[in-house]
Structure 1
Amino acid sequence: MASVDLSSRPILAQDIRFERDVVATRQRARQIAALLGFDAQDQTRIATAVSEIARNAFGYAGGGRAEFTLEDAGTTFAVRIRDRGPGIDGLDDILDGRYRSETGMGKGIIGAKRLMDDFRVDTSPSRGTTVTLGKRLPAAVAPGRLGDIAARLAAQALEDPIDELRQQNRELMQALEALNQRQRELAELNRELEDTNRGVVALYAELDEKAYTLQRANEVKSRFLSNMTHEFRTPLNSILSLARLLLDRVDGELNPEQEKQIGFIRKAAENLSELVNDLLDLAKVEAGKIPVHPVEFRVSDLFGTIRGMLKPLLAANLSVNLVFESTDHLPPLYTDEGKVAQILRNLISNALKYTERGEVRVGAELASGGMMLFHVTDTGIGIAAADQERIFEEYTQVDSEIQRRVRGTGLGLPLSRRLAQLLGGNISVKSDVGVGSTFYATVAVHYAGPAEVSYVPELTRHLDPTRLPVLVVEDNREVLFLYEKYVKNSGFQIIPARSTREARAVLQEIRPVAIVLDVLLEGESTWGLLTELKENASTRGIPTYVVTIVENAKKALALGADGFHVKPLQREWLIEKLSQAQRARHRTVLIVDDDEISRYLVRGALAPARITLLEAAGGQEGLRLARERHPQAIVLDLGMPDLDGFEVLAALKADSEVRDIPVIVYTAQALSHDDRRRLSAAATVIPKEGLSREETQKRLNAALSKAGLHIDEAASSGEVTA
């Protein structure tokens, strides 16, 4: 709270001795606010706040005095209301919203505090009470204007109290009309959002269908790559062996034309063999796992081996020199020598193919971070900037005159980059068209990774409020990854648990829309967990599906499972079951708050969801509705006239029928350490003040998501029970 400068310039003073003086103080506050340039809404706020404090001074202290001043170098309009009363007991409780008074004194002070920018209270039984209210001015007021303001105030007569009452009624009607207008705008906005949501849902459905088609195509491609490449190798090896026998004249001499034709056959078979090898390597990577065999070797020995392997390419182009720089000074590497050789072989082969004259230079050096940097520099045709990232895409080849003569597979560079990443590094390129290119490949000097690298990422347990949580109890990472792919763009989110202990911990935090169980986990089975889920009242209603390699549907269904499927799981079956679970859920949220405006704000935050909303204006009514309707979540205020939120929360947690309902505390009350201890059973605590509307909605959505309630859906059902 900003402090108010003690140096002030007085404008007017008003004694408060009779009830009509309270009305006069309100009138003077509005008149001065108008002369100082405040707009109509701020005039009403100031007049209302001053009126509340003046009424307290008259009602509790028998009278007082209001002083209107300019402070902070003419930038703040301040009103001090002094009285000689007995002071205010429990001021801290009043300001924090914990005080309950039959006369309503606490509400008046809190209301005035919310309407003003600055609010200070100095009170004691001996000195009485001084309340200072401040409102920052739209523009600073020059000292010379005070005389003009005082003269205009003297010319303005005070209105009759009845006229002031009429003015208050007009202000109230204007406020209600503004609220109604805002409600109409919100309703129109909600209708527009409904139309947009329907369009988005339709688009998601179309995208989901296309994604499913692409996924099936990718699965077919992967199976084809992993199966057929092995089948291709046998006839290819036969063709190459037979061509070699013929060219070696084992069965007699060949005439020049026959030798030429067999040479063409052998060349075509070699090109096809290269394609098959690259496809098989890519298939291994796409399958999710690829082995790594680290050994210790020297870069100089590796370069010598590669030089010998590439001699045939050098013989075909005598105008290009292949230069290997000295690497005797480099330390030995501990990594997969075969994969490093494959990376360099691809890079050097490409350089030799696309360099008509000049040289291809190969070197290596130590780089920072324990990396070895290899570089292959050529004086070839170069690569345009727009194509320098495209060349690392599968089957992509840059069109050029040389490219048309020596077409490759379009798989070498993508495979090389994946292998470099597998070994802890990467591949990049710098190139200028017509000048040449330099490819940089980095690998870790000491490979410290696993013997088999998985490309399946870990699934996160971070809740996405826009997706429905599905608990999957499965210890195989590849299967979990498959589940995540199956539910992509379907509105569901996989929450993984790799043991029954993890599953129980997840169920303590969230309520999933469904549970998928694998029976055989590492070192345990989930039959006991299934029995526990169906015997527990809080989880009995969650649809549970057993998906396992063990054919035991009868046992699963007898223990209460809602469905059974033998692995491998079909995506259509999973999405159908999850959609059924979503449709079958009874989705209700109970709002317990005595403040109608707060209930309105919560309704607005939940408006986009297909959720039945129940409302209770007090704690007793909230407990009754909770026991009768069993909502999926409760939004609870703390400060209520009959039962406060602490008592309601304690009563809910003591009742076995409703103790598992998540409770979201939504309060304007400042919480002490003891208060937070008493609220430890709540799912979360969200403050009413200090947060933006967007942040409040985000927190509320996240809390409801833990309860298994999806927020980003069609409009609310609109049922409201008061």
Structure 2
Amino acid sequence: MLRAIKFNIRTKIAIGYFLILVCLGASILAVTDRIEALQTEVESITSRDVEIHNLIASIQYDAISMETAQRGFIITGDTSYLEPYDLGKSQWEANYNSLYAYISDNPSTQKALEEIKLSIQEWISKTAEPTIAMKKENRSADIIAFFQDDVGKQQMDSLRAKFDAVGNQEVQSTRLHIIDLENKNRILTIGIYVLLLAATIISLMIVSFVSGSIVKTIKQVVRTITEIASSGGDLGTRIKVNTNDEIKELGDATNRLLASLEAQSWIQAKVAEVATMNQGINDLGILARSFLTKVAPMINASYGVFYIRRGAGEQQRLEKLASYAGTGEEAGKESFRFGEGLVGQCALEKRVFLLNQPDQAPLITTGLVQLEPRSILMVPIEYEERLEAVIEFASLQSFTTQHLKLLEEIEQDFGIAVNNVAGRMEVERLLSESQVLTEELQMQQEEMRMTTEHLEEQYLVAEQKTKELEKAKEELEDYSEQLQKSSQYKTNFLANMSHELRTPLNSILILSQLLAENENQTLNDDEEGYAKVIHTSGTDLLKLIDDILDLSKIEAGKVVLTIDEVNLTEIPEMMKLTFNPVAEKKELAFIVDMADNLPDVWYTDGQRLQQILKNLLSNAFKFTEKGSVHLQIERAGDETLAISVTDTGIGIPMDKQKLIFEAFQQVDGNTNRLYGGTGLGLSITSEFVKLLGGYIKLNSSVGRGSCFTIYLPELSQERLDTIQLAMQESAAAAEQLGEIPVQEESGNETDSSRISENEQTSGSNFAGKKVLLVEDDARNVFALVQALESKKMQVTVAGNGRRCMDILEENTDFDLVLMDIMMPLMDGYETMREIRKLPQLQDMPIIALTAKAMKSDRDKCLEAGASDYISKPLQMDQLFSLMRVWLTKQVSH
């Protein structure tokens, strides 16, 4: 039982030290006990003797104090001398009793002390008390007579002699006690030496026992290790240690080291066997079968498959090359892609896969039974970090760490062998192919000699055809370039003509509006009607220009779509507000239906959607004389809207239904004459629907009406980018020949949106305001001067920027500047920059006027120093509102 308890070296040493300490402790306890006893005696004797001497001295002091006080009172008669007397009289007997108790063990001293007591009592009764009474009674003669004999002095002298005798006796008793203590101390010293000697002997015995136990075990281990070293390298020998301490742990560690060395030696021997097996093999199939046959028994594998890498790049696959203990088709899958299954994943990650207790594992077949493997192992074979093969093993037992280490060592060298064999096979294949090719080449050379003349004839014919194709290609390229130039010229023409048309149109609209307003009542009703017709015609002409520019922008790919949240619930009210007056005028029913499953918000370009709806509804009302116009919005899928505009109008023949979506086309000449219009609305609508990623369907019959249905998807940023890219690609040909100056959206709507309601009602009095108009076109100057002077404003005109600066240098007292952009000598941009350089004109309002409304122009105007911006042709209400805003700000400053 004691042998089962682990007594390590530290425990043994600790037990030895503990026993030594026990011995020392016992010795110390014995010595301490004797020292304490001796100390107690010393303290007892010392305190007793000191107390006895103190009490003797106290009694003697009390007696002397009483005598001194008695003589002082008799001499002086002062009663204060009696206080020490009374105090000594009351104390001496108490001290006497204490002293008598201390010397109870000394009869001779007690007898002497009793005589002292009798002497004190006799002195008090025969000397002290009678003389004090005499003095109190003033019997001086009796006192003198009493002291002539002086019996009291004799008594006190006798008392002192007795005190000395008692003191000497006590001193002698103390000396005897001291001698006794010295004897006991000498005996104690001898005892301490004896105890120390005994403790030393016992400690040496314990140390000898413990060290002997440790050394004996170590010698046993050394002897065993020496036997192992001298036994010819037999790593199977093991050290046996009977003790249960660190020496046993050393032996166990040595045994584990021997086991590890034995395993490593086994691994190295097996690796050498496999390496030897690889020599002289020039076929991968033989190499794979030899490898499986050799290695499978080493790791107790009952099943194995060898997969070799074939192909390169993304076409790489693992193909079965050989198997071990396989049964036909069940011997592993024929091939794997990288990453397919655990075999493919092993190839992809290039790491070992070990599965214990796998589910649905392939069965291992013997002659009698089919057994399910307990462990499956997949090992990648690499060469220079490139996968060469994957080997799979299955075993009825679990693979051990030793097996894994063996495969790891084999894998390092086997990859080289696989690569070398594959290389030799490739060299042999190439050599064989080279020989075949050489033979074929010789045959082909003979054939080529026979066909050279025929090829020369075909070459001449082919050369002639090549020249003809090149000529045709050049003609096509010239034609393509002419088409691109034609498209560019058309777009440039439309953009430039829009600019040229807007300039005179500006004055037409301004003057016709002034005439139509007829504020001075100088026109009769017919003339006022003429002016309104002129203004309406100018407005229609402006809309036509905008439609043409829309088509130009679409063709040039310059339309910018903006995704925003379109509130579908607002569309019915918006459309009714626009078209109810038209329906009432033509006595048509206008119906708007919204499906119940519509979302509240739809992501698309809201401005383009409104333009599409307005174009379709305008078209429907224009060609419908009786009946109704029906707008219906519903869902055509999770991410698609179906918007239908149905009318009961004239309808469209089947052969004209594609034609109407082309620019400047209507159903026929009669349609144009009866209903007017340019034929651009449906063309623009069709292009906008395409830009928004949708398409349009038409269902119509002559005399029964038409139904236009557009299908619009919900736009995401990704889809918008795709649409914009398609637009840019469609305009790529024109952009290669130079930038196309296509006009942007008109800025009038945004200008008017900047005017708030309170600005419309405050500061509306223009009378007396000084305006500097900078404009080079005489028609616009005339129209604007008439309009401004009708509001009682003082107008100064500058024909160009240079003249403007001359006027401002002479007089800066202007409330506002209207600045045209396109002018000779000095354009509007340069003029505004020069104005802003003058400190006194830093805050003067400048409103830029231009017939071109490109985004870049708007930004350039503001950067050049313009306070605001408005595009031509001008709408005077908007211009007056804008002027009112800046004149009001100027007044507030």
More strand by share: 1
More helix by share: 2
* Higher RCO structure (Cα 8 Å, ≥6 apart): 1
TM-score (normalised: structure 2): 0.31
